[in-house]
């Protein structure tokens, strides 16, 4: 695993010293899966008992590894995001996670901004995601300009944001 920061220079600058965002590679799959399991498994099982599917999540990570980014502190993965682009030019944020001990520093907001910058540069006109209805993340996305577009099961919302520059 390399420590080389992202090559893309159009990404916003990290708001906190000591963190490095870089492109994920095959050697990061286990760390990404571990962070996602640590932070998401209990929520999924709470709202959707029996729906946590480790094989499906690993496939999702591997299928989108070219659009996965890991956030490092002292060489350890402490956050991440990964996304896919659908055929309608919508960039779908599949996961954005910051470990609890690194929250409250603006890193989650920054990771979303990095995702949006990459998605727009790839030609996406909108960003979409699903989020648990009663989560802090849902409130964060609303503050960042995402609007509710529907439901994703009984406990989650779908949200979207236009990425096109306002004229």
Q: Decide if 130 is inside a domain.
A: yes
**24 SS3 class:** coil
Contacts of 42 (CB under 8 A, 6+ apart): none
Ramachandran area for residue 24 (φ above 0: left; ψ -120 to 50: alpha; else beta): beta
Q: Decide if 1 is inside a domain.
A: no
For residue 86, the enclosing domain spans 19-162
Averaged pLDDT for residues 129-149: 95
The predicted structure's pLDDT at residue 1: 39
Please tell me the total count of domains within the chain: 1
CB atoms near residue 74 (< 10 Å): 8
Cα–Cα distances in angstroms (integers) from residue 136 to residues 8, 93, 103, 108, 143, in the given order: 29, 16, 11, 11, 11
Percentage helix, strand, coil, to 5, in the chain? 35, 30, 35
Averaged pLDDT for residues 58-82: 97
CATH number reported for the structural domain that contains residue 110 in this entry: 3.40.630.30
Is residue 28 exposed (0-12), middle (13-18) or buried (19+ Cβ within 10 Å)? buried
Averaged pLDDT for residues 7-16: 79
Q: Decide if 89 is inside a domain.
A: yes
Q: Decide if 152 is inside a domain.
A: yes
More confident of the two residues 4 and 61: 61
pLDDT digits (tens, 9 = 90+) for 73-124: 999 999 999 999 887 889 999 999 999 999 999 999 999 999 999 999 999 9
54 neighbors 61 (Cβ within 8 angstroms): no
Extract the runs of DSSP E, i.e. beta strands, from 30-115.
Answer: 68-73, 76-85, 90-98
d(CA 83, CA 128): 10
State the pLDDT confidence band at 2, using cuts at 50, 70 and 90.
very low
Q: Decide if 148 is inside a domain.
A: yes
Q: Decide if 99 is inside a domain.
A: yes
Q: Decide if 51 is inside a domain.
A: yes
Q: Decide if 2 is inside a domain.
A: no
Cα–Cα distances in angstroms (integers) from residue 36 to residues 29, 40, 60, 144, 155, in the given order: 11, 6, 12, 22, 18
Cα–Cα distances in angstroms (integers) from residue 7 to residues 10, 86, 130, in the given order: 9, 24, 28
């Amino acid at each position: 695993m390399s420590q080389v920061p992202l090559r893309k220079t159009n990404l916003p600058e990290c708001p906190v010293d000591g963190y490095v965002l870089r492109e994920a590679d095959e050697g990061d799959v286990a760390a990404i899966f571990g962070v996602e399991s640590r932070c998401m498994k209990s929520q999924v099982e709470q709202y959707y008992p029996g729906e946590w599917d480790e094989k499906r999540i690993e496939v999702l990570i591997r299928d989108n590894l070219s659009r996965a980014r890991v956030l490092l502190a002292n060489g350890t993965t402490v956050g991440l995001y990964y996304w896919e682009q659908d055929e309608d030019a919508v960039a779908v944020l599949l996961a954005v996670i910051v470990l609890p001990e690194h929250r409250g520093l603006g890193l989650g907001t920054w990771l979303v901004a990095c995702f949006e910058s990459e998605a727009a540069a790839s030609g996406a006109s909108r960003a979409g995601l699903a989020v648990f209805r009663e989560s802090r993340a849902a409130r964060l996305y609303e503050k960042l300009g995402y609007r509710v577009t529907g439901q994703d099961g009984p406990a989650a919302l779908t949200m979207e944001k236009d990425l096109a520059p306002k004229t």
